[in-house]
């Protein structure tokens, strides 16, 4: 069974540009969550999507956005990149739904470097 796939694995962007990261969840999973990991702030929740709807949102500026497609694949977008956006972005997939008694499975992440 394939795991969570994140593409690309590494990305270098220039300040002011925008970037789109992709996440393909485990087959059958309908919930996708995104996290930012930095040495200073640790792991911080960005947002969660379930069945194409944003279900939760963390405390990040509006430059960070996401969406989920009908096949559960998700993308996150960061506009007007800042140096502080350099981080490992992790995607997690879960069955989702009302039960909720399941865990999240994480991908290997996308390492974004803003120069």
Partner 1 sequence: AQSVTQPDIHITVSEGASLELRCNYSYGATPYLFWYVQSPGQGLQLLLKYFSGDTLVQGIKGFEAEFKRSQSSFNLRKPSVHWSDAAEYFCALSYTRGTYKYIFGTGTRLKVLA
Binding site for partner 1 (CB under 8 A): 4, 6, 31, 33, 35, 42-45, 48, 50, 55-56, 58, 90, 92, 94, 96-101, 103-109, 111
Q: What minimum distance in Å lies between the beta carbon of 52 and partner 1?
A: 15
- By beta-carbon proximity to partner 1, the closer residue of 6 and 19 is 6
Minimum distance between the CB of residue 1 and partner 1, rounded to whole angstroms? 15
CA distance readout (Å), 50 to 14, 53, 95: 31, 5, 9
- How would you write 2-64 as a 3-class SS string? CCCEEECCEEEECCCCCEEEEEECCCCCCEEEEEEEECCCEEEEEEEEECCEEEEECCCCCCE
CB of 15 to partner 1, least distance (A): 24
* CB closer to partner 1 out of 76 and 92: 92
């Amino acid at each position: 069974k394939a795991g969570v796939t994140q593409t690309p694995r590494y990305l270098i962007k220039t300040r002011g540009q925008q970037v789109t990261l992709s996440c393909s969840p485990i087959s059958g999973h309908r919930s996708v969550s995104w996290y930012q990991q930095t040495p200073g702030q640790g792991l911080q929740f960005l947002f969660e999507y379930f069945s194409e709807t944003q279900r939760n949102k963390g405390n990040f500026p509006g430059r960070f956005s996401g969406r989920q497609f009908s096949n559960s694949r998700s993308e996150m977008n960061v506009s007007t990149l800042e140096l502080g956006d350099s981080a490992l972005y992790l995607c997690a997939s879960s069955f989702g739904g009302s039960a909720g008694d399941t865990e999240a499975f994480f991908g290997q992440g996308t390492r974004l470097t803003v120069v």
